[in-house]
Amino acid sequence: MRLAPQAELRPGRRVSGVVPAPTPADDPASRLFATRKLSLELIRPLSAEDMTVQAMPDASPTKWHLAHVTWFFETFVLKPHLPGYRLFDETFNYCFNSYYESQGERHPRPARGLLTRPSAGRVLDYRAHVDEELERLVRCGLEPDGEPARLVEIGINHEQQHQELLLTDILALFAANPLRPAYRPRSRTADIGTAGSRSSDEVAWIDHPGGVFEVGHDGRGFAWDNEAPRHEVLVQPFRNADRLVTNGEWLAFMADGGYRTASLWLADGWATVSREGWQSPLYWENRDGDWHMMTLEGLMPVEPEAPVCHVSYFEADAFARWAGQRLPTEFEWEIAAFGLAVTGNTLGTHALRSRPAARSVPDAPRQMFGDVWEWTQSAYLPYPGYRPPEGAIGEYNGKFMVSQQVLRGACCVTPDGHSRATYRNFFYPHQRWQFAGVRLAAEAV
């Protein structure tokens, strides 16, 4: 973990939005094209075949991600706001609409992997076409507060989300391949975890007195609709762990029969464990007595000091119960993150083997961003007064507000500049293919 340079904590300082990273540059056009370019960098290790196949219904093919984010710019930015824009291909609206009911019929989600046509090459042509037209739009000038600028900003953030999903889904695909291919070469391990951490790194508990706090986005910088309205919450005193749960701790949970002890589990969780035969996190496999895990760098031994990853909410909750603790609520997490610099990460440069760095500031929690998404005890629900935006864009976040749990933070494949303390990620409690892990919390003592 590393702190962004500007993170000299000042008393009372609150950073609730995006901490400006050194790059990409701040102006929207630069960020737009840097983001568009990053997507193309991400696919460099992939063949057209890799980009076409859908690992499972929850996942999408790389090619689909690439085309869908492009369709988003075409549909919501270019078509309504660039005079004379001509659709690249009339059929793409059907192929690459995700779930916008307002945009008409679409290809069924579980069948996205059947689209061997349009080819990867044609999708790259589509991207080039849309990029050119976006440049034309930008050259015309984007009013900073105008609708096109707002939609470009949404488009950037939307593409960033799919960049993360693209890597998440590629891992799912490669993990299902008996060859266990690596997305990228194994990084050198020599420089990992040297920043002052010890092998016997005990959890430190950070106390919070509770009180009434403002949570949610304050309107400075970009945020999704579901982070608003900013509002007050009353939080009881609590404490939270200064670091994530590690693989070593998870191995202890497993060794103690964690996956076989009904009393540790939510009823739905126990039913899932029993039905699916879970015995470890997703992507773990025992080879000749040693636990390995599938990663973007291929199959690797499980490192005891790395944060555990690819666990469901059910598992996170059971682990916490086993440990005599609980998961934090999303507001406890957000409060604990007040004033913390958002540590970035560059996609593809680390692979979840970070050891908790030493704290540069006493009592600051570590690993809040850039390692794993952290399951919270909070269900994904609207904030008081929440209204989805008008129009098609409004289908974005609100319609998923049931049966899912909030995750906070950011993970090792979250693009730089896409993390913030108010960010609300959400998944179903049984899902494990995301880079999701666990931080413990507890009542104040």
- Using CB under 8 A, list all residues that contact its own copies: 47-53, 55, 91, 94-95, 99, 101-102, 107, 111, 113-120, 173, 176-179, 181, 212, 231-234, 236, 238, 262-263, 265-270, 313-314, 317, 326, 377-379, 381-382, 384-385, 395, 399-403, 405, 429, 443
Cα separation, 243 vs 206, whole angstroms: 10
Q: What angle do CA 312, 429, 282 make, to 5 degrees?
A: 25
Taking the least distance from each CB to its own copies, the nearer of 283 and 369 is 283
Q: How far is the CB of 178 from its own copies (least distance, A)?
A: 5
CB atoms within 10 A of CB 294: 22
Q: How far is the CB of 433 from its own copies (least distance, A)?
A: 14
Q: How far is the CB of 102 from its own copies (least distance, A)?
A: 7
Instruction: Fill in the amino acid letter for 306.
Output: A
3-state secondary structure of 316: helix
Q: What angle do CA 43, 48, 49 make, to 5 degrees?
A: 115
- 219 with 15: CB under 8 angstroms? no
Taking the least distance from each CB to its own copies, the nearer of 131 and 214 is 214
Q: How far is the CB of 377 from its own copies (least distance, A)?
A: 6
Q: Which of 273, 282, 210 is nearest to 445 (CA)?
A: 210
Q: Which of 397, 395, 354 is nearest to 372 (CA)?
A: 354
Cα separation, 147 vs 2, whole angstroms: 36
The per-residue DSSP string of 340-396 comes to: -------TTT--S-PPPPPPSSTTPPS--SSB-EEEEEEE--PPTT--PPSSGGGGS
Taking the least distance from each CB to its own copies, the nearer of 186 and 231 is 231
- 319 with 245: CB under 8 angstroms? yes
Q: How far is the CB of 379 from its own copies (least distance, A)?
A: 3
Cα separation, 360 vs 12, whole angstroms: 17
Taking the least distance from each CB to its own copies, the nearer of 222 and 433 is 433
Q: Which of 417, 382, 370 is nearest to 153 (CA)?
A: 417
Q: How far is the CB of 239 from its own copies (least distance, A)?
A: 12
Q: How far is the CB of 417 from its own copies (least distance, A)?
A: 28
Q: How far is the CB of 272 from its own copies (least distance, A)?
A: 11
Structure tokens at 420: 């913030």
Contacts of 414 (CB under 8 A, 6+ apart): 160, 164, 345, 347, 369, 370
Taking the least distance from each CB to its own copies, the nearer of 212 and 255 is 212
Taking the least distance from each CB to its own copies, the nearer of 163 and 405 is 405
Cα separation, 130 vs 9, whole angstroms: 42
Q: How far is the CB of 114 from its own copies (least distance, A)?
A: 5
Taking the least distance from each CB to its own copies, the nearer of 37 and 399 is 399
Taking the least distance from each CB to its own copies, the nearer of 204 and 401 is 401
Taking the least distance from each CB to its own copies, the nearer of 26 and 443 is 443
**Radius of gyration over every alpha carbon of the chain, rounded to an integer in angstroms:** 22
In angstroms, the Cα distances linking 279 to 113, 163, 285, 321 are 29, 30, 10, 17
Q: How far is the CB of 225 from its own copies (least distance, A)?
A: 15
Burial readout 161-180 (b: 16 or more C-beta within 10 A, e: otherwise) = bbbbbbbbbbbbbbbeeeeb
3-state secondary structure of 139: helix
Taking the least distance from each CB to its own copies, the nearer of 405 and 419 is 405
Structure tokens at 168: 């998440």
Q: How far is the CB of 119 from its own copies (least distance, A)?
A: 6
Q: How far is the CB of 43 from its own copies (least distance, A)?
A: 13
In angstroms, the Cα distances linking 354 to 150, 188, 255, 280, 316 are 36, 12, 24, 20, 20
Taking the least distance from each CB to its own copies, the nearer of 218 and 395 is 395
Taking the least distance from each CB to its own copies, the nearer of 119 and 187 is 119
